[in-house]
């Protein structure tokens, strides 16, 4: 019951604050700025995120990540990184909106490509993807589908597979393959 009420109010908030955005198809090769969303719920997930950042880094590409670490205490494996904004449960209000000013800036950033690597429904990421000013939004979570321009089926829920799918299909969309 609470989740229904929370989702209803989050939907209303998104409808009233959503701004029109310039939609333009970008691939990993044509994007000059990439933002991505990641759930770092373990040490291995944190290391996967850092490895993904290395895969996404190209000399002309500007990267920014928004990472969710479950819980209220920062784990010992976390190390601050200049291109990663981290938030936790204490930073999310009752309705799923993130209260950090850095996240507001992240949503206002006109990324060429925003990738949601989350593998389960997270209202905070749904809100970020829906309110983002990114030109092209891709992801693999079915519950976030209305926020995406490109939804990829990722039955194994593995971020690396989603990355390869997005790389392949965005290249096909713009005709560079």
Ordered domains of the chain (ranges, CATH): 2-16+24-174 (3.40.50)
pLDDT for 94: 83
pLDDT for 59: 60
Per-residue pLDDT of the chain (177 residues; tens, 9 = 90+): 677 888 888 888 888 888 888 899 998 888 999 999 999 988 999 999 988 888 887 766 789 999 999 988 888 888 888 889 999 999 998 878 899 999 999 999 999 999 999 988 899 999 999 999 999 999 998 888 899 999 998 888 888 899 999 999 998 988 754
- Please report how many Cα atoms fall inside a 13 Å half-sphere around the Cα of residue 30, on the Cβ side: 17
Helix extents (H) in the chain: 2-17, 43-56, 101-108, 123-131, 159-174
Contact 142, 122 (CB under 8 A): no
Contact 134, 112 (CB under 8 A): yes
pLDDT for 176: 55
Instruction: Select from 6, 8, 7, 15 the least CA-distant residue to 131.
Output: 15
């Amino acid at each position: 019951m609470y989740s229904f009420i929370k989702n209803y109010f989050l939907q209303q908030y998104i409808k009233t604050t959503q701004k029109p955005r310039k939609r333009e198809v970008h691939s990993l090769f044509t994007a000059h700025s990439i933002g991505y969303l990641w759930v770092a719920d373990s040490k291995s997930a944190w290391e996967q995120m850092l490895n993904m950042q290395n895969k996404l880094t190209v000399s002309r590409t500007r990267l920014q990540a928004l990472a969710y670490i479950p819980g209220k205490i920062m784990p010992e494996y976390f190390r601050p990184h200049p291109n990663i904004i981290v938030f936790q449960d204490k930073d999310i209000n009752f309705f799923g909106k993130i209260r950090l000013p850095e996240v507001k800036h992240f949503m206002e950033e006109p990324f060429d490509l925003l990738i949601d690597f989350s593998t389960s429904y997270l209202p905070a990421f749904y809100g970020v993807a829906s309110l983002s000013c990114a030109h092209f939004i891709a992801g693999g979570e079915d519950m976030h589908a209305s926020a995406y321009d490109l939804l990829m089926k990722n039955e194994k829920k593995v971020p690396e597979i989603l990355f390869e799918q997005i790389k392949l299909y965005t290249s096909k969309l713009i005709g560079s393959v």
